[in-house]
Structure 1
Amino acid sequence: MIPINLPPYPIKTTTKDGRRMIFDFLRRRYVALTPEEWVRQHFVHYLTDHLGYPAALMGNEVTVNVGGVARRCDTVIYNKQGGTPRVIVEYKAPEIKITQQVFTQINAYNSVLRAGYLFVSNGLTHICCKIDYENGTYKFLPEVPPYETLK
């Protein structure tokens, strides 16, 4: 796989029916190893291993109904009180540039979930923003914040 801008972790892979698979510890199963999945697994491990995000509050491939259509958020991170969405994360393969179209996609999910933070990563670039619903604004953050600092 392509080198990315995230710390390494002990990767578990296997081959099934001629396809490379990678272990997703949140879903507790092997999934197809695509470039986007490579980014997801590294990013999720970065969040849990380095930034203190509780794995028990995270879900991969979370279904959300957007305009009558079932869509899947790449990762949703919930808060400790009541399990409401705190962060939505959208992943792209390393060769995919993070464009306005990517933010339009994650904003569609957020129109339903109303998370306070949106993270987008292609493994090379990580963009994070905090949503201020009271003032109808958002602020880009210089880096991915540790879980304990989310407000």
Structure 2
Amino acid sequence: MQKTLYDPIRKKDVPATPEEHVRQATIRFLLDVVKVPEHAITVEFPLGLVDPKSDERADIVVNNFREGASIDRPWLMVECKAPGEYTWPELQVQLNRYLKILTPKYVMLALGDATRYFVLDPVGKTFKSVNSLPEYSNS
């Protein structure tokens, strides 16, 4: 029998793959440390909701509806990968495809236990590296 993990956002058990372990650790971080409410998080966000030509999915998207932002302007977009599955440059290529569809305020990349955070500079439309994410309620 395959091992599973409970996903508190999707409210169901999911296969316990190496990438899913990273995703679930990231969800716990967002809920417990960043204080994102469950209802603001979407797991496996279908990019086709914004661009019907896309069949890709972002691992985690935190909406920004409280600030009146549309679905294509989330507060945070997260990509999660299992350790040893991707390199940072490969993950950047995937992220760049997603950034043609979504314009998040923050980006988080979780590659195994290593994490990188970025904030959108609205003037230059570029992402700058930051040390951490702010608490959801304070940003």
**TM-score bracket for the superposition, by shorter chain length:** 0.7 to 0.9
Residue deviations 1:48-100, cap 9 Å, x none? 11221111100000100368231111000011233631110000002235412
- Shift of the 54–98 alpha-carbon distance from structure 1 to 2, 3 Å rule, reads farther
1:118 equivalent among 86, 94, 107: 107
Residue matched to 2:44? 61
Identity of aligned residues (%): 27
Query: Following the alignment from structure 2 to structure 1, what is the Cα–Cα distance between the partners of residues 87 and 104?
Result: 20
Aligned residue number for residue 140 of structure 1: 129
Q: Which amino acid aligns with 1:148?
A: S
Q: What is the identity, as a one-letter code, of the residue corresponding to 1:109?
A: Y
Cα distance in 2 between the residues matched to 1:107 and 1:32: 27
1:89-108 aligned within 5 A:
89-108=78-97
Q: Could you say what secondary structure the match of 2:4 adopts?
A: strand
RMSD between superposed Cα atoms in Å: 1.8
Aligned: 1:81 with 2:70: no
The TM-score with structure 2 as length reference comes to 0.85
Equivalent positions of 1:24-63 (< 5 A) are 24-63=7-46
Structure (1 or 2) with the greater strand fraction = 1
What is the alpha-carbon distance in structure 1 between the residues aligned to residue 87 and residue 37 of structure 2?
26
Q: Alpha-carbon deviation of 1:101?
A: 1.9
Query: Which deviates more, 136-145 or 56-65?
Result: 136-145
Residues 1:48 and 1:76: Cα distance change in structure 2 (over 3 Å): same
The runs of 5 or more residues in structure 2 that have no matched partner are: none
In our comparison, the structure showing a higher alpha carbon Rg is 1
Q: 1:149 to 1:123 in 2, by over 3 A?
A: farther
One-letter amino acid of the counterpart of residue 132, structure 2: E
TM-score (normalised: structure 1): 0.79
For 2:138 and 2:93, locate their aligned partners in 1 and report how far apart those are by CA, in whole Å: 26
Amino acid at match of 1:71: E
Aligned residue number for residue 2 of structure 2:
19
